[in-house]
Amino acid sequence: MQEIVDQLAATIRAAAASNVPLRIRSGGTKDFYGQQDKGRDVAPEGILDPTAFAGIVDYEPTELVVTARTGTPLAQLETELNGRGQMLAFEPPHFGAGATLGGCIAAGLSGPRRASAGAVRDFVLGVRMLDGRGDDLSFGGRVMKNVAGYDIPRLMAGSLGTLGLLLEVSLKVLPLPAEERTLRLSMNEAVAIETMNRWAGKPLPVSATCFCEGELTVRLSGATSAVRAARAVLGGEEIVENSSFWKSIREQVHPFFRSGKQLWRLSIKSTTAPLSLPGKQLIEWGGAVRWLSVDAEMDNDAVETLVRKTAKEAGGHATLFRSRTPAAAVFHPLPPAMMNIHRQLKEKFDPMRIFNRGRLYPEL
Ligand SMILES: Cc1cc2nc3c(=O)[nH]c(=O)nc-3n(C[C@H](O)[C@H](O)[C@H](O)COP(=O)(O)OP(=O)(O)OC[C@H]3O[C@@H](n4cnc5c(N)ncnc54)[C@H](O)[C@@H]3O)c2cc1C
């Protein structure tokens, strides 16, 4: 396995020496996500593929910690954890059979359980990575190093490969819930938002919520007695295809996610009243995420201006999550102070700017 690391490090050193951009790509299941990076057209030798660097390095179920190489297929890791009655509590989307642990961490995306369990970054304990000089670095976990006071392992979640090539990741895992049930209740959007927020303030074992087309779907997870008691309080109709429904939301194969030309994700204050926007909406995470599907007839620029303004007014930001046409800006423009921090981090980790140029923000 060390030969693979040496080979990857040699490629990085050569690229840094000649200022040639590299594109980090494993399973390619999240190619659609992020800015069209300038390294996207690189020659095959410019693609840095860590999929051969795979396998679980260390797994101690009693310690609730797993360390795996980033080329490990996400499905394989989850099967292994499942076999020991454990899970990745942030329920990461795969978006395809080839999803790897590295892509999962770099994309920083979490699934339906995020509002109750936490996001990817909350579960990353340590990383081993190659930086833009080809140096093999470890942060968190057993070896602790620090760059200007940042929690480096967490920083890697959502960095979209712009700071380095992740080699190994240590993650906190959690036990699978003893019982899981899904209920469906009919109501309008305003009532659904109020209901999700009210439930969030109560000791209910709610592990996921989803509102779409007049129906609020809620998942209860936990101890059998707690789930049964909550089921009696909340009412509604129990749905049988429990796990397939949540998988369809997590993997975006539910018809809502395929209904438009552009899919926007607004991450906002959960109590925000129904948003007046064109297109269809699906609400997740107790009201904190509003997915917006926009159809073909709409003017892209006008939609972008409206969506970004609406998200900002609602205390959050908007991401153009999927687009079938080339788009200018995917992520919400950052305030100058935040962009300055991004620049400093890029300078520290990848001074020659060889990794995934422009994938997160065009200027990085
Ligand atoms: C249910 C819930 C609970 C939360 N609890 C807390 C909390 O306890 N403490 C706290 O500090 N925050 C909390 N937040 C806020 C959350 O951590 C921030 O909104 C975070 O910046 C975005 O994380 P995300 O998981 O929504 O998006 P991610 O999936 O992590 O990000 C998607 C992409 O959006 C971009 N992006 C992320 N943030 C911004 C931004 N601010 N501006 C522009 N682009 C951005 C990134 O490029 C990233 O790649 C919570 C959010 C939710 C939805």
Q: Where are the alpha helices (DSSP H) in 31-99?
A: 74-83
pLDDT in tens, 89-99: 999 999 999 99
Looking only at the bridges linking them, the beta strands covering 262-267 and 179-186 are unpaired
Q: Which of the listed residues 251, 272, 306 is the one where a domain comes to its end? A: 251
**49: β partners:** none
Report how far residue 193's alpha carbon sits from residue 275's, in angstroms, rounded to the nearest whole number.
11
* In-domain check, residue 153: yes
Buried b (16+ CB within 10 A) or exposed e, 37-67: bebbebeeebebbbbebbeeeebeeeeebbb
125 and 191 co-located in one domain: no
Q: Is 158 in the pocket of ligand 1 (CB under 6 A)?
A: yes
Give the ligand 1 atom nearest the CA of 331: 44
* In-domain check, residue 333: no
14 and 118 co-located in one domain: yes
85 and 27 co-located in one domain: yes
Report how far residue 242's alpha carbon sits from residue 246's, in angstroms, rounded to the nearest whole number.
7
Q: In total, how many domains does the chain have? A: 3
**Structure tokens given for 90:** 């942030």
pLDDT in tens, 257-292: 988 889 999 999 999 999 999 999 999 999 999 999
Report how far residue 219's alpha carbon sits from residue 122's, in angstroms, rounded to the nearest whole number.
21
Amino acid letter for position 71: G
Residue 50 CA from chain centroid, whole number: 19
User: What is the CATH classification number for the domain harbouring 3?
Assistant: 3.30.465.10
* In-domain check, residue 159: yes
Ligand 1 centroid from CA 268, angstroms: 9
Task: Name the closest-CA residue to atom 2, ligand 1.
Answer: 115
134 and 155 co-located in one domain: yes
Q: Which of the listed residues 251, 277, 308 is the one where a domain comes to its end? A: 251
Ligand 1 centroid from CA 90, angstroms: 14
136 and 235 co-located in one domain: no
Report how far residue 28's alpha carbon sits from residue 31's, in angstroms, rounded to the nearest whole number.
5
Amino acid letter for position 112: P
Tell me what percent of the residues of the chain surpass a pLDDT of 90.
Answer: 82
Check residue 144 and give its pLDDT.
42
Report how far residue 178's alpha carbon sits from residue 1's, in angstroms, rounded to the nearest whole number.
38
Question: Which residue has tokens 């979209």?
Answer: 160
Task: Assess contact for 362 and 40: CB atoms under 8 A.
Answer: no
Task: Assess contact for 114 and 334: CB atoms under 8 A.
Answer: no
Q: Which of the listed residues 230, 251, 272 is the one where a domain comes to its end? A: 251
67 and 39 co-located in one domain: yes
Check residue 261 and give its pLDDT.
85
Task: Assess contact for 129 and 268: CB atoms under 8 A.
Answer: no
164 and 135 co-located in one domain: yes
Report how far residue 309's alpha carbon sits from residue 303's, in angstroms, rounded to the nearest whole number.
10
169 and 278 co-located in one domain: no
Give the ligand 1 atom nearest the CA of 333: 43
pLDDT in tens, 164-195: 999 999 999 999 999 999 999 999 999 999 99
Q: Is 317 in the pocket of ligand 1 (CB under 6 A)?
A: yes
pLDDT for 148 beyond 70 = no
Task: Name the closest-CA residue to atom 46, ligand 1.
Answer: 158
Ligand 1 centroid from CA 42, angstroms: 31
204 and 234 co-located in one domain: yes
36 and 127 co-located in one domain: yes
153 Ramachandran zone, left/alpha/beta (phi>0; psi -120 to 50): alpha
* In-domain check, residue 328: no
pLDDT in tens, 16-55: 999 989 999 999 999 999 987 655 556 666 889 999 999 9
Looking only at the bridges linking them, the beta strands covering 56-60 and 317-323 are unpaired
* In-domain check, residue 12: yes
* In-domain check, residue 280: yes
Q: Which DSSP category does 341 fall into?
A: H
* In-domain check, residue 337: no
Report how far residue 261's alpha carbon sits from residue 350's, in angstroms, rounded to the nearest whole number.
35
Among 267, 338, 342, residue to substitute to test ligand 1 (most atoms within 8 Å of Cβ): 267
Report how far residue 62's alpha carbon sits from residue 51's, in angstroms, rounded to the nearest whole number.
28
Q: Is 264 in the pocket of ligand 1 (CB under 6 A)?
A: no
Task: Name the closest-CA residue to atom 43, ligand 1.
Answer: 332
- Residue 125: which domain range? 1-175+344-349
What average pLDDT does the structure give for the chain?
92
Buried b (16+ CB within 10 A) or exposed e, 177-211: beebbbbebeeebeebbebbbebbeeebbbbbbbb
Tell me what percent of the residues of the chain surpass a pLDDT of 70.
Answer: 94
At residue 143 the predicted structure's pLDDT band, cuts being 50, 70 and 90, is: very low
276 and 315 co-located in one domain: yes
Residue 273 CB-density burial (10 A; 0-12 exposed, 13-18 middle, 19+ buried): exposed
3-state secondary structure of 195: helix
Residue 238 CB-density burial (10 A; 0-12 exposed, 13-18 middle, 19+ buried): exposed
Q: Is 285 in the pocket of ligand 1 (CB under 6 A)?
A: yes
247 and 136 co-located in one domain: no
* In-domain check, residue 287: yes
Q: Is 339 in the pocket of ligand 1 (CB under 6 A)?
A: no
Ligand 1 centroid from CA 160, angstroms: 14
CA-based nearest residue to 2, from 73, 75, 70, 53: 53
Q: Is 209 in the pocket of ligand 1 (CB under 6 A)?
A: no
Ligand 1 centroid from CA 108, angstroms: 10
